[in-house]
A and B are shown apart, each in its own frame.
Chain A
Amino acid sequence: MGRVSGMSDLVITLYTIVVLSLVVNIGISLYGVFTRPSLVKKFICLTIFSDTLNSFAIAIGFRRVSDTYPSIAVLSSVPEELSELATFAETAVDPVPQALVLTAIVIGLAVYMFLVGLIVMYYRHYKTTHVRVVEGGSVG
């Protein structure tokens, strides 16, 4: 691996900032899931944790190509010859993690709806969303 250009170090530093921020987000959201007593707050933190793991899956499939980077993928042209197709295959990102994340987002939405139903049933039974009511018999 050689250096692509003079700006390569800055780009790598910025990309490292993105990945480290995702790691910090995992820590904060897991802290919220483990320590917050309210079930609704646990639900919100769980959605953040799930989104962060999906972001890691996308970051695995990402490949940085300096020449074609600023062209946005939605507006790119359709390849007409086989040589253009080979060039496209050399410069495209991996689509398999994106398909997996697309499926994970939709399945996660169904799981979240199930959790919302469970939290509503919990509130109707115990008149609170505080989890320590069930453990100790009183709030606190």
Chain B
Amino acid sequence: MEVVPISIAAIAALLSVVATYLAVRSRDMLAAVVFSAVQSTAYALIYYVLMAPDIVLVYIPVSVGILPAVAVLLIKKTERYES
């Protein structure tokens, strides 16, 4: 019974490593924002398994909702592709 949640946390951690690498390497800023949101979702799963559900309730609206929205607005105001 105990192995299942911690395996979910391990899979989410490996997914967050892949998402972080793709967010750093991609030339398109919108793709980087989407990969950053994927990384934040994986972190929310890790927090839930580590018994911090109050952090999850704050972290999901902030890091998956508000921050990508503000970043997309910022990209619209500035430039999309990294030269």
Q: Which residues of A contact B (CB under 8 A)?
A: 7, 10-11, 14-15, 17-18, 21-22, 24-25, 28-29, 31-32, 36-38, 40-41, 43-45, 47-48, 51, 55, 58-59, 61-62, 66, 69-70, 72-74, 93, 98, 101-102, 105-106, 109, 112-113, 116, 119-120, 123, 128-130, 139
Contact = CB atoms under 8 A, between A and B. Distances in A.
B58 A106 contact: yes
Contacts of B13: 17-18, 21-22
Contacts of A128: 79, 83
Contacts of B66: 109
Contact of B24 (A15, A31, A129, A139): A31
Given A38-B82, A48-B36, 5 more contacts: A21-B14, A40-B74, A41-B82, A61-B52, A93-B50
Given A98-B52, A105-B58, A119-B78, A25 B67 contact: no
A36 B24 contact: yes
Interface string B60-76: 00110011001100110
Contacts of B63: 47, 51, 105
Contacts of B83: 37-38, 128, 130, 139
Interface of B: 1-3, 5-7, 9-10, 13-14, 16-17, 20-21, 23-24, 29, 32-33, 36, 39-40, 43, 46-47, 50-55, 58-59, 62-63, 66-67, 70-71, 74-75, 77-79, 82-83
B39 A48 contact: yes
A123 B78 contact: yes
A43 B24 CA distance: 11
A105 B23 CA distance: 21
Contact of A40 (B21, B29, B58): B29
A58 B1 contact: no
A119 B14 CA distance: 31
B5 A69 contact: yes
B5 A51 contact: no
Contacts of A44: 23, 29, 32-33, 36, 71
